[in-house]
Amino acid sequence: MRAVNLADAGFLYLEKRQTPMHVGGLSLFTFPQGVNRHRFLGELLEVLRTQEEYRRPFGEFVTSGRAGPLGPLYWEHDTHLDIDYHVRHSALPQPGRYRELFMLVSRLHSSLLDRSRPLWEMHLIEGLQGNQFALYNKTHHAAVDGVSAMHMTNAMYSSKKSARSEHSPLSRATYERYKQSKLKQQAVHVDLKSKEMRTVMEAMRQQFDTTTNLMSAFRRFGGAFFGRSGNLSVPWHQIPHTSINTRVSGSRRFVAQSFAFERVRGVCKAMDGTINDIVLAMCSGALRRYLASQKERPTHSLKAMAPVSLRDDDDLDSSNAVGFITADLATNVFDPEQRIRKIQASMAAGKALLQSMTHAEATLFMQLTQIPVLLTSVLGLAGKFPAFSTVISNVPGPREQLYWNGAALEGIYPASVVFDGFAMNITLVSYKDQLDFGIVACRRSVPQVQRMIDYLEESLQELEEVAGIRTVPGKRRRERTGAPAVKIAGEAGAAASPKTKTITKTKTKAKATARAKTAAPNSTRTKGTAGVKPKHAPPT
């Protein structure tokens, strides 16, 4: 047995029926041309069910040892791993639209992982329209974070269409091969000073610097809480109570969508910001619209927990190495240009705080500041005293086309964690020339979360107008606060997808429904916008 470290154990202690603490992902694939689909899926299942040595902790389960449930937790090797339990084959009901796919993923993402077994599952899903199939996987957050999950994805797939794998994607052999190729790509830097023996005085000076930097960081952190640190945002400070900051049930809703990376990068260049700034601004505008549709418009701005990776470039093995920046989303600012400037200032202040410390100091600082967040969740107080409004995470992914035994990977849509006080989670992955958004929300606390997809598109269009990229005759349209005119994934009667949505003309309700037309998939492409050109449009 080996001990579960404190950061990973936190996710295990936080878990209960209402708050499953696993992260997942939905991958969409196009079948290779000319293959027998049933035979091809059967071959993939054989690969997934290959019995071999798994990398840690995928061949281990969690136990509390002799100390009982209140004692420390350990990873213990599972000598009787039942691979058929972990790798499952599912089929969508007819007509096999993305709506049915999202409903299945929502249901799978709601259930707890069995702690008496290794904490992961994979579901190969067939019956999807448009010559496609899907793979949904979920792994406990104690075993992976967003970056390590992306390393798993890269290890599983190949940039070569002809590549074939005979090993399980979770096997030690697969991961070691990926790890070696990754390390070879990284430049080797030798710090000659680190080889010198430090004197006692040098060690004392380093300790003094660490203490000084941490004290300075905590002073700025405390000053921000009392409104004395300019643009720096911190947890709990003026967090408004909304429907996305309540206690959650155990049921989940999942929706997804792709957006063209060039559109976001165009706004980024015009506004002199980063990709993260524009993504946060997109989410800010979407959340404004969503809350208005629920008859909510809080006076104070929503604040997002924006996770940042604290792992070294050559660290491929850590389960969780994550800190966070508190981002002011400026949802109380009507003007979109002023809104994005305030978001930029907030992110810059958060980054400056982290950059004022060394890597080790920043890691320690994040661990200490996360303790109150964990305590409020453990004590059941997060629903009454939320530290943030939501979680918005941007995970860097592969920039090249990937394949799985010849099947083209079309999109990677993350499905993350929600818990008391954080009833909605927005996570995105950059893949190829697109940004793949996955939104998870509590089914009871956050109704009609599928509207967020349409609101994200409207928000991006608004930013393009402000940046001068998208010209619209006349005045800029007012923010819509009611139900979207566009039917999107998950709504009754919609055949939408992460790359598809149904545009409805607005005459009468009956005529609008009768005349619904489906736009091309792959991003939210509408007239006048630059979406990703589709290659395979699913039938509707």
Which residue do the tokens 């993260």 mark? 276
| Helices 146-156 & 172-185 angle (0-180, nearest 10) | 100
What are the start-end ranges of the E strands in 197-284? 252-260
Q: How many helices (H) and strands (E) does the chain have?
A: 13, 18
State how far the alpha carbon of 127 is from the alpha carbons of 46, 134, 157, in Å.
19, 9, 22
Contact 302, 242 (CB under 8 A): yes
Token pair listed for 10: 């936190």
Residue type, 374: L
Nearest alpha-carbon partner for 349 in 496, 188, 231: 231
CA distance 414 to 206: 40
86 among known catalytic residues: no
Token pair listed for 80: 């009787």
**Three-state SS across 398-437?**
CCCCCEECCEEEEEEEEECCCECCECEEEEEEEECCEEEE
Q: How many CB atoms lie within 10 A of CB 36?
A: 10
**Nearby residues of 271 by Cβ (< 8 Å), 6 or more positions away:** 277, 278, 340, 344, 463, 466, 467
CA distance 185 to 164: 22
Cα pseudo-dihedral 384, 109, 2, 4, rounded to 10: -20
CA distance 321 to 258: 27
Residue type, 277: D
Catalytic residue among 141, 167, 241, 536: 141
Residue type, 136: Y
CA distance 291 to 404: 40
**Nearby residues of 244 by Cβ (< 8 Å), 6 or more positions away:** 287, 291, 389, 390, 422, 423, 424, 441, 445, 446
Nearest alpha-carbon partner for 119 in 45, 153, 157, 170: 170
Question: For strand 403-404 and strand 2-3, is the pairing parallel, antiparallel, or unpaired?
Answer: unpaired
Token pair listed for 272: 């002199």
CA distance 170 to 161: 20
Residue type, 295: K
Residue type, 337: E
CA distance 3 to 75: 6
DSSP of 513-524, one letter per residue?
HHT-EEPPSSS-
Q: What are phi and psi of 427, to 5 degrees?
A: -130, 140
CA distance 273 to 395: 18
Residues annotated as catalytic are: 141
